Chain A
Amino acid sequence: MTAFHINPLPPFSRRESLRRLGAGFGSLGLAAAAMDSGVFAGNGAGGFGTAAAAGPVSPLAVRPPHFAPKAKRIIQLFMPGGPSQVDTFDYKPEIARYAGQRPAEVDRKSLRNTRNGLFPSPFRFRQHGDCGRWVSDIFPRVAECVDDICFIHSMHTDIPEHAGAMLMMNLGHLQPNRPSMGSWLVYGLGTENQNLPGFVAMSPRAQPRGGQANWGSSFLPGAYTGCYVNIHEMRPESVLQDLRNNFVTHADQRRQAALLARLNRMHADQQQDAALESRISAMEMAFKMQFSVPEAFDVSGETESTLKLYGDSEYAKGCLLARRLVERGVRAVQLSLSIDGYDIAWDTGHDNIEGGHAVLARACDQGIAALIQDLKQRGLFEDTLLVWGGEFGRAPTSEGQKGRDHDHYGYTVWLAGGGVRGGMAWGATDQFGCSAVENRVHVHDLHATILHLMGLDHEQLTYRYSGRDYRLTDVHGRVIGEIVV
């Protein structure tokens, strides 16, 4: 083996090598026999792989968390472009009282455009649920779920630019040269289903700005890269590259696989090289993925009532796919909103909050609420973490007449499910919703908290690269223990 054992997860430890040598390479023989008898050659709806099937060396094999997790999987509902907090979930009636004025709170150095003063939200807010949280009328379905939601109103980030701020949200760094949060999670925990990718990123039509960087693995091994699926163009068989064979029948392919397994086994036995064994099991896994992956992405088997629950928007389809994926053991899903092929959808808020935000909310409201309900119905909600939010918020002042400019001093992100207290709000912005002033939460803190909920200590989840240990949270991050159940 020539692998450089520089990363903390070498494919084979020395002890493991010894054990396997001692065992005479017999243990995986079963798999080859199974192949000959066609046992694992699924027929399109086969059972889902378990961690044990991964073999000893898969970089995606399940790894124990640092401590008992509250959530086993995560769905990030990413809202690129910066949704306005004061028009969605952070109710600030004081804005109307001072409309058109520019009190000191909103006169901040880096807010780019505050000339026109405070601009009341064009939307009506109502109280909902037992908790009585205020939600704008543009999210009527999500509003029904507030008792399951924990709002963080005191988010803040480093810069008011989409590019860097989106990377900060997804990578914890302003430049694209770091691994994404999803890839960190799969690196830390592995994934439950070896026949599906561990991390799937999806969006309808446009990828979020920055594209691959948002789900890339950077210096982590390539196996942790998110697999990107465009919901709009998606065909189940095209989810992974080379998933489909156009050259031989299933029966012939099974025969090819069996012969290849025999030849590779003869070679592995003769060479007594542990690395060769892992290739045999990887081939078996690949064979099965040809059936399990299209199956996971094929919603045609869903019931009428489920399909109706989600509705027919593209984002809702993504929500349904997200449920199917986490249900099958995928560790992390990132579902970004886009409409009309715009890569920072919520940025339409510059010109027109009323039109833009209403359309965007409508595009995702029902799907998100359906996802929460559906997960609850299936008993998955308790250990699935949902994270909703964009890279920053928008200022309570107006840009032009009807729009709002970026605001990174304060914005709202909400969490739900896995280990999060529902019906609560953490932190607060000032009376106008401009800056986080109470229990401030930086993106690094959010990341630390997400990792914590998933059973990982953000200070211990490290990867040695370029001579030093890297973390998702760099040298920052504080877990918000107060919002954890």
Chain B
Amino acid sequence: MSLIRLLLIGLLTGLCGPLPLSAQQTPQELTEEQTTWFETRVRPLLAEHCFECHSSQAKTIRGGLKLDSHTAVLKGGDTGPAVVPERPDDSLLIQAIRWQGLEMPPAGKLSPQDTEVLVEWVRLGAPWPDAAAATTSERSWDFNQLRSDHWAWQPIQRPPVPTVQQAAWISSPIDAFVLSKLETQGLQPAPPASPRVLLRRLYLDLIGLPPTPAQLQEFEQAVAVDRQAAVDAAIDQLLAQPQYGERWGRFWLDVARYSDGFGGFLDAAALPHAWRYRDWVVNAFNRDLPLNEFLRLQIAGDLAAPPQPEATGFFALGPTYISDGGDPDATAQARAETLDDRVDTLTRGLLGLTVSCARCHDHKFDPVPQLDYYSLAGIFNNTQNREAPLVSAEVVQAFNDHQQQLKQLTEQIRSRREMADQQQRPLNAAETAAQKADEEMLERLQASAPPPYPVGHVLAESGTADMPLAIRGNLRKPGPIAPRRMLQILEPEAAPFTSGSGRVQLAEAIVSRRNPLTARVLVNRVWLQHFGQGLVRTPGNFGKLGQPPTHPELLDWLAAELHEGPTPWSLKHLHRLILRSSAWQMASSMNAAAFAVDADNRLLWRMNPRRMDVEAWRDALLAATGELDLAQGGPPVESLLDSPRRTLYAAVSRNGDRYVSDSFLRLFDFPLPRATSEGRGTSVVPQQSLFLMNSQFMAARSRAFAARLEREAPDDPGRIDLACRLLFGRPASDADRQLGLEFLTATGAAADSSVSQQAVSNAPAPQQPLSPWQQYAQVLLSCSEFMHIE
């Protein structure tokens, strides 16, 4: 088919109506045929012969001219527009390639055929399909070379533990790495935290609950005898508590962008069994499931032996976008967004890589070709979400058989009775006997019925075909086929994944010791939760735009420990290493000299003071008021603010707008579970204070707290002291007592004259008034000291 005919078809097929193609025409209006022609004939010519000097990628742009976009072509360079649409003879570009005046390209004249293509292109108005900008570039990727470019691509090697001057400070190999940096800068580490501060920090870190006054006192006494032994004992005890898994499971659920569905418009489905995955995660942490196994199961647990399909909720609970009218563009985009969620969660969550950036073009900064994005997307393109039993087929079969028997029997009894009724007669003797036998049988069967089997949202295989790269991220514009395989920068000889969707092989590649990222990323996330900052302060981006590690050797030493320590891939081992260190046990006290040198505390001269996350804060409130219910697992709690359950169990919608708990959690920086989260913010907005001042929840806690104090201490000074111990982990100061007593007296006096006062202010009387003690309790519960972790 001739070129002209192709274009004529393009003109007549309607997208552009009867208009001529013109320079004003916006790019996306080209037909497929026009676009194909441009992409196969025009752009390659420009790319091959002109872009070296005339494009955004050019090292030096010659003559101020760029030829890599529609705008640039029309704008032209120093000598004016390169193209006058529809007038090739007047266009500088055409004159130049005809070597009339200018002689381009300088290396040699284009063939007459090629020249004619460009002439024709200008004659037609120089149409430029924006949506089909460069596909994956033709640059060759020398991954071996690129691997030496950036620290994160290099293999993990265990560095030697540095030697330091103040050897007495070393309680864990970690300390040597931290201290050697401090010594280089002439900085001193902060003194050890006081036992009370230390124990409160330890409890909140490991189980997300504060210690009781009795536990604090006991610990102080134990420290007086042997500090390290007391700390070790406390660590062991806390790691063995089931609340540990709830705390650390929640950290992982941030990475997994866990929700109960309800992503709102175009992703509105409920995920009623999501909690099965949440409970699986909590349980995995509690039993210290090796982290490599933990990840492997989340990628391909449905294919493991024995299968643990609920683990694949990691992906299956992600958004599944739809389009609501079946428009092909909208449908394709919905599919593309869904795939992007899987690729993004996989790569940012587990590898600390922003592979999603390569969805429309090669990654601009990291060595991830666009093709690699589709190598991963292809795996999920062959995977589907299912709602499936979490038990073996035999168990399901047994349950169903049993149900079937029950049904048959019930039916038999009913029809026998019905027949007799229809014939308007009583059951005869034989029937009565049969009926009785059946009813007895039914009773026995009902008694022995197996319980309903659990169901989860899981992944399943759905195909085994590679998908094409999508030009500009548009699935309706297929490019070259992308073989399913690991990212080439991470796997030197990335072999294609051919078994099923490729998830099993993907899981192996993720946890492979050759993979330089997984262990580093995991270790960093653990460090982040213990110190409030990661060693890499961009936990979801270890690429070139991320921050380099503050302590690269320490990061690698810990990663190597995960690979080949005494208990490989054991998280609890990692906790012990970190928590035993002098670094973790430092006070958070200010040091003006150190602050002047390192205000961001990158060198770790003190412990970072932190604000509790919303889970720890709400749980600690309920613990202080004595209301907390430590029941574990099960379906989510829809109205969290009326429940004594731990915050972990709140129902959460992906759109953050379905449950009361959503807005409460979001108010205190709970991440919107639309995408994997690399850490919590600590926003301060007035709405948080409105919640503290005015919410039903805070009023209820204030009543409960005041009641508890009244129950457990004899007089006002004693109650103030108990309150400080419960909330802040310290006895009351003189100032606490004085301010508290003053407040109680003034408020009590005002209460006596409240009738006249209300009359004066003309405001409605409070519907459920708080007593002076309850008001005081509310103030204490709202204190920043309570939310603060030293």
Binds B, one of A243-251, A333-341, A383-391, A413-421: A243-251
* Chain B CB within 8 A of A26 CB: no
* Chain B CB within 8 A of A430 CB: yes
What is the interface of chain B mostly: helix, strand, loop, or mixed? loop
Q: A1-B608, A4-B678, A435-B17 are in contact. Are A251 and B750 (CB under 8 A)?
A: yes
Nearest Cβ on chain A to B334's Cβ, whole angstroms? 7
Q: A256-B693, A268-B784, A467-B356 are in contact. Are A177 and B674 (CB under 8 A)?
A: yes
Nearest Cβ on chain B to A473's Cβ, whole angstroms? 13
* Chain A CB within 8 A of B675 CB: yes
Mark A219-239 against chain B: 1 for CB-CB distance below 8 A, else 0: 101110000000000000000
Task: Report how many A-B pairs have Cβ atoms within 8 Å.
Answer: 286
Central interface residue in B543, B610, B675, B784, by most chain A CB within 10 Å: B784
Nearest Cβ on chain A to B312's Cβ, whole angstroms? 22
When the two chains form their complex, are residues B543 and A467 in contact, meaning their CB atoms are under 8 A apart? yes
- Residues of A within 8 Å of B689, CB to CB, are 279, 282-283, 285-287
Chain A residue nearest to B539 in the complex (CB): A4
Q: Which listed residue, B14, B333, B537, touches A4 by the CB 8 Å rule?
A: B537
10 closest Cβ pairs, A-B complex? A467-B354, A286-B689, A286-B686, A161-B325, A2-B532, A285-B686, A242-B694, A283-B689, A210-B265, A272-B590
- Residues of A within 8 Å of B667, CB to CB, are 222
In the assembled complex, 28 residue pairs joining A and B whose CB atoms fall closer than 8 Å, in A order, are A2-B679, A3-B682, A4-B537, A4-B678, A11-B682, A14-B599, A109-B14, A163-B265, A163-B323, A164-B266, A176-B265, A177-B675, A210-B264, A211-B657, A212-B655, A212-B656, A213-B655, A216-B656, A218-B672, A221-B681, A222-B666, A242-B694, A245-B693, A245-B766, A249-B758, A282-B685, A440-B24, A440-B25
Bound-state Cα–Cα, A267 to B323, Å: 52
> Interface size on B (CB < 8 Å)?
110
When the two chains form their complex, are residues A466 and B672 in contact, meaning their CB atoms are under 8 A apart? no
* Chain B CB within 8 A of A104 CB: yes
Bound-state Cα–Cα, A163 to B264, Å: 12
When the two chains form their complex, are residues A221 and B683 in contact, meaning their CB atoms are under 8 A apart? yes
When the two chains form their complex, are residues A243 and B690 in contact, meaning their CB atoms are under 8 A apart? yes
Nearest Cβ on chain A to B696's Cβ, whole angstroms? 8
Residues of chain A at the chain B interface (Cβ within 8 Å): 1-6, 11, 14, 17-18, 21, 57-60, 104-105, 107-110, 158-164, 167, 174-177, 194, 209-213, 216, 218-219, 221-223, 240-253, 255-257, 259-260, 262-264, 266-268, 271-273, 275-276, 278-279, 282-283, 285-287, 289-290, 430, 435, 437-440, 442, 466-468
Bound-state Cα–Cα, A212 to B599, Å: 39
When the two chains form their complex, are residues A264 and B784 in contact, meaning their CB atoms are under 8 A apart? yes
- Residues of B within 8 Å of A262, CB to CB, are 739
* Chain A CB within 8 A of B414 CB: no
Residues of chain B at the chain A interface (Cβ within 8 Å): 13-15, 17-19, 24-26, 263-267, 319, 321, 323-325, 327, 329-330, 333-334, 337, 344, 348, 353-354, 356-357, 532-533, 537-538, 540-541, 543, 545, 588, 590, 592, 595-596, 599-600, 608-611, 655-657, 663, 666-667, 669, 672, 674-675, 678-696, 699, 735-736, 739, 743, 746-747, 750-751, 754, 757-758, 761, 763, 765-770, 775-776, 778-780, 782-785, 788, 790
Q: Which listed residue, A3, A107, A282, A442, touches B14 by the CB 8 Å rule?
A: A107
When the two chains form their complex, are residues A251 and B674 in contact, meaning their CB atoms are under 8 A apart? no
Nearest Cβ on chain B to A7's Cβ, whole angstroms? 8
Bound-state Cα–Cα, A283 to B333, Å: 44
- Residues of A within 8 Å of B265, CB to CB, are 163, 167, 176, 209-211, 213
Q: Which listed residue, A162, A163, A241, A268, touches B690 by the CB 8 Å rule?
A: A241
Chain B residue nearest to A246 in the complex (CB): B767
Bound-state Cα–Cα, A255 to B783, Å: 15
Bound-state Cα–Cα, A4 to B540, Å: 11
When the two chains form their complex, are residues A1 and B609 in contact, meaning their CB atoms are under 8 A apart? yes
Bound-state Cα–Cα, A253 to B690, Å: 12
Bound-state Cα–Cα, A271 to B330, Å: 53
When the two chains form their complex, are residues A467 and B348 in contact, meaning their CB atoms are under 8 A apart? yes
When the two chains form their complex, are residues A255 and B324 in contact, meaning their CB atoms are under 8 A apart? no
Nearest Cβ on chain B to A53's Cβ, whole angstroms? 11
Bound-state Cα–Cα, A438 to B26, Å: 10
Nearest Cβ on chain A to B34's Cβ, whole angstroms? 14
Known: A221-B683, A252-B747, A468-B357. 12 other contacts (CB 8 A): A164-B266, A164-B333, A167-B265, A176-B265, A242-B695, A247-B770, A249-B763, A255-B747, A256-B779, A268-B784, A271-B588, A271-B609
